[in-house]
Amino acid sequence: MPFYCYMVRCANDAFYTGWTTDPLRRVHEHNAGRGARYTRMHGPVELVYVEEVEDHSAALKREAQIKRYGHARKAALADETSLPEELLGGD
């Protein structure tokens, strides 16, 4: 089973970072109000970064690493990332 570290941009231009086994499902959950408390308060969200990692442990470590980044570094990471076509589809 693949694991992913992902980042979404919230309506207030802040970034939320998490991990999942299905990035599209997780973004839909955030936008439906079933995600994290922060994204419920600052939604809707847009997927801006996805990275496949080897296992659950690696996903947690990468999530923690990205969460330590400042806003500018997160924005640069999002800007330099090209999302796979299957992750760009709308609702």
What's the confidence (pLDDT) of residue 18?
Answer: 97
Cα 35 from Cα 39, distance rounded (Å): 6
**How is the chain split into domains, by residue range?**
3-87
Please classify residue 6 by burial: count the beta carbons closer than 10 Å to its beta carbon, then call 0-12 exposed, 13-18 middle and 19+ buried. Answer: buried
What is the full per-residue pLDDT of the chain (91 aa) written as tens digits?
Answer: 899 999 999 999 999 999 999 999 999 999 999 988 999 999 999 999 999 999 999 999 999 999 999 999 999 999 987 776 666 555 4
CATH of span 3-87: 3.40.1440.10
